[in-house]
Amino acid sequence: MFNRPLDSAYTYLFDGSAEEAEGRRVIATLGRQKLTGYVIECSPEPPPSLKSDITLKQIERIVDPQPVFDSELIGMARWMAKSYICSLGEALSAMIPGGKRDKELAPALPGEDEGLRQEPISLSDEQEHAVQQILSAPRGQYYLYGITGSGKTEVFLQAAEATLKEGRGIIYLVPEISLTHQVVQVIRSRFGEQSAVLHSSLTQSQRIAQWRRILSGEARLVIGARSAIFAPLPDIGLIILDEEHESSYKSGTTPRYHARQLALYRGGVHGARVVMGSATPSVEAWHHMNKGTLRRLDLTRRLSGGAVPEIRVVNVKGSDSSLGSELREGIRATLKEGKQVILFLNRRGFGYFYHCRSCGADFSCTRCSVSLTFHKSKQKLVCHHCGYQRPVPQVCPECGSLELGYSGFGTEKVAQDVEELVPSARVLRLDTDSTRKKGVLEKGIADFRQGKIDILLGTQMVAKGLNFPGVSLVGIILADSSLHLPDFRSYEKTFSLITQVAGRAGRYSPDGRVILQTLNPAHHIIRQAAGMDLEGFYRRELDSRRELGFPPFSRIIRILVRGREPGRVWEYARRIHSGVQETMEGLNLDSWEILGPSESPIPRLNNNYRVHMLILSSRLGPLQQMLPRLLSSMKKDYSLYTEVDVDPQSML
C-alpha cells in the first residue's frame, strides 16, 4: 500500500521469506517514482486476481529490520479507511511513524513541577469510587466528569497502575504533550522503564525506536498526543483520553480521524476500558452520558485546598482599553498581595482590523478572503490564515486619506495596556507569535510557575490544563470573541473555553477570582458560563441541536472542493451535489439533508477557491458506502482537490 488516495494494493516480487517483509515499510517503484510502501500481505503465489500477462517489479529494499505494524494495526487501518473515507495507504501512513509528518505542537521538557505528586496519593472517596468502577470489569466505557482541579489525573494514574499489574498495557492520550509536562514527569517517575513518551520533537529514528519498545512489550504505558492512539501495544487494558473536549484530538489532514472515536474502536477490539475525562465534556459526550452508553463518574470537589472561583461579568461596551476599570483594580490588588494573574484573549496581534477611518476601506489578504491583522511590533499587516504579510500602509489606497487605524485588539495590544497600567510587573505573552521559537513556551510556563513572572497573558495556550499555585486572578479580556463564528459549535466552544480558563484561578487557595469582560452580558452563554450552570448549558444546547438536526442527533460529512478557478470548483461541487442527491434518494433513508453547495466561510484561502457542502444524516453507514463509489466514478479534474471530512470539527 502507498500513501496515496488510491484504493488498491499493489503486488511486487520479493526474494526472501515472508518473515523478512511482513509488517514493514519498503521502497518500491510506482510508475516512475520511488515510494515508501507498506507490506500488508505476503504469499508464495501471486494473488488470483492478478492478470497473468503483467510483469511484476521487484521490491527495491526493505526499510525496517523488524516489523513496525501487526495485523491488529492493519485491521484498524481498514476500519479507518472505511470510516473516514480515505485509502488504506493513507490510513497506514497516518498511523506509522515515518509515514507522515506530524503536525502536533513541538515540545521539550524543562523546569520543575509543583502540584502533582510523584508518589501515589491516598484518594478521596469520590476518586476511590471512580477507580473501583473503572477496574470493576476488564472492559467498559467511562467518563470522569470533574471540575477543574478535582484530581482526575490521580484517578487515571491509579487506574493505570492497577491495569499494569494485571499485565495489560495503557494508552494515555493528552491534547498536547508540551502542555502536559507535569503528567509526563509523574509517569516517568512512577512507571520508569515501562513507560514510553511519544512527543513530536522525537526524531524519526527515536520515534521508531519507541515504537519498537512498544511493539515488543517492553514499554507498556504509552503517553502522547492524538497519534499515540496508534501505539502498537499488543494487549491494551486501558485507554485514557484526558481533556476529551479538546479539538486537537481531531486530525486536520487526511485521514481526518478523531482520537476519541479510535479510542472507542480500539478499546472494543482489545476488550479494554476506555476512560475519558474533562471538566467540560463535549456536547456529544454529554449526550452519551445521558443515554448511559458512557458511564459517568463524578468528581465534585477541589482537593488541594482550592475552591471554585467567583466569576464577575463586566460589560465593556464602548471601552477603548482592553482593560476595564474592574480588571485594572483587580490586577493592581492581586499584584500587591504578591499573587499572580492570568489574562486570556483569543486573538493574536495588536489591532484586529486595520482600516481607513475616512472611507472605511479595509485591507484583505491578497491570497485569502480575510482581513489582515495589525501587528505593531513587526509593523506589518498579517494574514492569520496563510501568513501573508505586508507593510502597514500610511495612505489609504482608495481615497488617499491619512486617517488609517486599527479597531478591536489582540494580545499584543493587551500587553501594551498592561505595561501602562503596572510598569514594574513582569509580563509574559504566550501566543503562536511569541512562542514560535522552540523552548519559549516551556520556559515561560516554568518561569511563571516559579513566580519569576507576575502576569501571564495569552491565547488558548494559557487555558489548557496548566496548574499554577500562585494564580488568584484570571481576567478574560473579551469572552465573546468566539461566540459568533459560523459554526454550530460556537456556543459550545465559547462556553467550554470560559469554564476552562476560569478554572485556572484558585486551584490551591480559596481566594480565586475571575473577571469576565464581555460585550454581551445578557447572552445566555455568558450567563451560563459565569453562573457555572453546566447542566443548564447542556440542556439548552442539546434542545437546540435536536431542533436543528445537528450532532449528536445527526452525523455530518463535509465535502469541500478547492481549486484556482472558481468556475471549475463550482461546477465540480454541483456535480458532487447532484450525485449525492440522486444516490441518497435511491437509498430510502428516513432522515437526511444536504446543505449547500455554498462558499465556505473562508471562500478563498491561499489563492484557492473553496466551496463546500454538508450532508446530514441520522446514519453514517450508507454515506460511508456511497461516497467513495460516487467520488471515484466522477470524471477526474486534476486542477481540483476534494476534501472529505467525516464528523467535521471545523466548518471554516
Closest CA to 457 of 495, 421, 509: 421
Place of cell 498536547: 176
Single-letter code of the amino acid located at 49: S
356 known ligand binder: yes
- CA dist., res. 44 & res. 3, Å (int): 25
Out of ligand ADP, Zn ion, none, what residue 296 binds, judged by CB under 5 to 8 A for its kind, is none
Single-letter code of the amino acid located at 154: E
386 known ligand binder: yes
Out of Zn ion, ligand ADP, none, what residue 389 binds, judged by CB under 5 to 8 A for its kind, is none
Nearest distance, CB of residue 361 and Zn ion, angstroms? 5
Closest CA to 156 of 15, 26, 299: 299
Contact set for Zn ion, span 200-219 (CB under 5 A) = none
Residue 389 interacts with ligand ADP (CB under 6 A): yes or no: no
- Number of residues located near ligand ADP, criterion CB under 6 A: 18
Choose one: 111-119, 337-345, 387-395, 419-427; the region binding ligand ADP (CB under 6 A).
111-119
Out of Zn ion, ligand ADP, none, what residue 282 binds, judged by CB under 5 to 8 A for its kind, is none
3-state secondary structure 273-296: EEEEEECCCCHHHHHHHHHCCCEE
Beta partners for residue 428, in sequence order? 456
Out of Zn ion, ligand ADP, none, what residue 304 binds, judged by CB under 5 to 8 A for its kind, is ligand ADP
Nearest distance, CB of residue 319 and ligand ADP, angstroms? 33
- CA dist., res. 291 & res. 19, Å (int): 47
Q: Binding ligand ADP by CB under 6 A: which of 37, 67, 149, 330?
A: 149
Nearest distance, CB of residue 363 and Zn ion, angstroms? 11
Q: Give the chain's radius of gyration (CA, Å).
A: 26
Residue 602 in grid coordinates? 473562508
Binding pattern for the stretch 304-343 against ligand ADP, x by CB under 6 A and - elsewhere: x---------------------------------------
User: On the CB side of 307, how many CA atoms lie within 13 Å of its CA?
Assistant: 8
Which long-range contacts does 584-592 make (Cβ < 8 Å, 24+ apart)? 584/615, 584/617, 584/622, 584/626, 587/622, 587/626, 589/617, 589/618, 589/619, 589/622, 590/618, 591/549, 591/554, 591/617, 591/618, 592/616, 592/617, 592/618
Contact set for ligand ADP, span 453-512 (CB under 6 A) = 467
- Number of residues located near Zn ion, criterion CB under 5 A: 15
CA 377 to chain centre: 29
Contact set for Zn ion, span 345-364 (CB under 5 A) = 356, 358-359, 361
Choose one: 21-29, 367-375, 472-480, 537-545; the region binding Zn ion (CB under 5 A).
367-375
Nearest distance, CB of residue 393 and ligand ADP, angstroms? 46
Choose one: 192-200, 393-401, 413-421, 564-572; the region binding Zn ion (CB under 5 A).
393-401
What is the pairing mode between strands 455-458 and 273-278? Answer: unpaired
Choose one: 12-20, 90-98, 292-300, 375-383; the region binding Zn ion (CB under 5 A).
375-383
Single-letter code of the amino acid located at 487: D
Contact set for ligand ADP, span 120-139 (CB under 6 A) = 121, 123-124, 127
Out of ligand ADP, Zn ion, none, what residue 404 binds, judged by CB under 5 to 8 A for its kind, is none
CB nearer to ligand ADP: pick between 297 and 303: 303
- Secondary structure element (H or E) that encloses residue 572, with its range: helix 566-587
Q: How buried is 113 (Cβ within 10 angstroms: 0-12 exposed, 13-18 middle, 19+ buried)?
A: middle
Beta partners for residue 45, in sequence order? none
Q: Binding ligand ADP by CB under 6 A: which of 23, 89, 99, 146?
A: 146
CB nearer to Zn ion: pick between 368 and 614: 368
Residue 148 interacts with ligand ADP (CB under 6 A): yes or no: yes
Contact, 127 vs 151, CB < 8 A?
A: yes
Residue 64 interacts with ligand ADP (CB under 6 A): yes or no: no
Place of cell 446543505: 595
Residue 100 interacts with ligand ADP (CB under 6 A): yes or no: no
Residues that bind Zn ion in the complex, under the rule CB under 5 A: 356, 358-359, 361, 365, 367-368, 383, 385-386, 388, 396, 398-399, 401
Residue numbers in the known binding site are: 356, 359, 365, 368, 383, 386, 396, 399
Residues that bind ligand ADP in the complex, under the rule CB under 6 A: 115-117, 121, 123-124, 127, 146, 148-154, 303-304, 467
